[in-house]
Amino acid sequence: MTQKNMPVKELNASLSSLSQVDFKSGQLVHGKGFLKLTELPRIVDEIKKRFAEYEFSEQGLMWELHSWIDELPGGGQLYRIQLILDLAYPLECQRCLQAFSDELHIDSQFVMKESLEEVDNFPLDNDDEDALLTSHQFQLLELIEDEILLNLPLIPKHPPEVCDSKMIYIPGIAPSREGNVRHEEENEPKNPFASLKKLKFDA
C-alpha cells in the first residue's frame, strides 16, 4: 500500500477543537498536546468511583494524533488515524488496597468509515485497528476517554516487588496502622525534577 501525499493540518489543541475534528476535509490532521484529567468528565467519574476523596491537581495526559491515507492496489483509499496516549492514572491495588498510580501507554490505530453499516461490519477480531465513523466534527475527546476506559486493567495490582505482601487484606479488618505507615514511606513518589530544581537554585 502506498500513502497518498496530502496537505497536513495542524490540530489546535484546545478543548473545543478536540470536540470537533474534521476528518472529512480532504486534509490530513496531526496534533499533540496535554489534557488535564479534570477535562475528561468520564475519567473523573471513574476515578471518583474508586476514590471519592481523590484530589485532582495537575495530573493529565499527553496525546498525539496522526492521520494518513493508504491507497489500495485495486483503487480506493483508506483514511487512517493513530492515537497515542500517555498518562498516569490513580488506581487501587487489589492485593493490598493501597492507592497507586499506574502508567498507561496506549497506541491505537483506526480506519475511518463513511457509514455506520461499514463500522458495524468491521471484523471484531482485527487486532491491528478498529473502525470509526468519520465526520466533519469528530469527537476526538470522547475517543480519548473511550481508549483510557478500555485500557484500564480489570484487576489493578502493584508489581509484586512493590506491593507490601505482609498487608494481606482480610474483609472487615482494616490493615494495621504500622503497615500503612511503612507502605507509604516505601512508595513515596520521587519527584523526577527534584534534583533539577536544586541545580537551578544553585546556579
Q: Which residues bind Zn ion (CB under 5 A)?
A: 93, 95-96, 158, 163
* Nearest distance, CB of residue 99 and Zn ion, angstroms: 10
Residue closer to Zn ion by CB (options 81, 93) is: 93
* Nearest distance, CB of residue 48 and Zn ion, angstroms: 21
* Nearest distance, CB of residue 94 and Zn ion, angstroms: 8
- The DSSP-derived string for the chain is -EEPP--EEEPP-SHHHHTSB-SSSSSEEEEEEEEEGGG-HHHHHHHHHH-TT---SS-EEEEEEEEEEEEPTTS-EEEEEEEEEEEEEEEE-TTT--EEEEEEEEEEEEEEESSHHHHHTS-TT-SS-EEEE--TTB-HHHHHHHHHHHHS-SS----TTTS-TT---BTTBPPPHHHHHHHHHHTPPPPTTHHHHHHHHH-
* Nearest distance, CB of residue 157 and Zn ion, angstroms: 6
Residue closer to Zn ion by CB (options 28, 167) is: 167
Residue closer to Zn ion by CB (options 28, 93) is: 93
Residue closer to Zn ion by CB (options 95, 182) is: 95
Sequence-separated contacts (24+) of 184-191 with Cβ below 8 Å: 184/98, 186/162, 187/98, 187/100, 187/162, 189/101
* Nearest distance, CB of residue 93 and Zn ion, angstroms: 3
Residue closer to Zn ion by CB (options 47, 140) is: 47
